[in-house]
Amino acid sequence: MKRLIIIISFSSLFSCSHLKDRNPPDNLIGQELMSKIMLDVILMKNIKRNGYAIKEKRNLLVDQYILQKYGIDSLRFNKSQDFYSKNPKEYTYIFEIIQSRLNELRDSLQKIEVDERPNK
């Protein structure tokens, strides 16, 4: 009986250890930079999906362009994204930054639209 309790204890301990990784990777992308990268990814994917991209330039709208823009490689990005997804409090902060920037973009586009309307 004692062995069974020990085996169950160890198995439950090790089965849950992968759920929350507290140790960030060595080259973790900071939350501010990660929010900029993810915002660009979101915008590019929506531009492609909605067909707003010019046909000749559609091939430029790839994730590799974004990684080059910020000087990071896909491994670093994936490790950072994996870390943040396992740590929801940090990930939530990133999405709050993204939401704020999207609101700023929306507001600036609405202002441009209002400013360009002809006066009646």
Name which of 7, 36, 22, 56 is nearest 97 in CA terms.
36
Higher per-residue confidence, 60 vs 18: 60
**Other Cβ atoms within 10 Å of 91 Cβ, number:** 17
**Other Cβ atoms within 10 Å of 93 Cβ, number:** 15
* Tokens of residue 70, six digits: 């910020």
**Span of 19-28, 54-63, 69-78, 79-88 with lowest mean pLDDT:** 54-63
Reported as a single tens digit per residue, the pLDDT across 27-48 is 999 999 999 999 998 888 887 7
* Tokens of residue 13, six digits: 């301990």
Reported as a single tens digit per residue, the pLDDT across 52-68 is 656 666 666 567 788 89
**91 Cβ partners below 8 Å, 6+ apart?**
84, 85
- pTM comes to 0.69
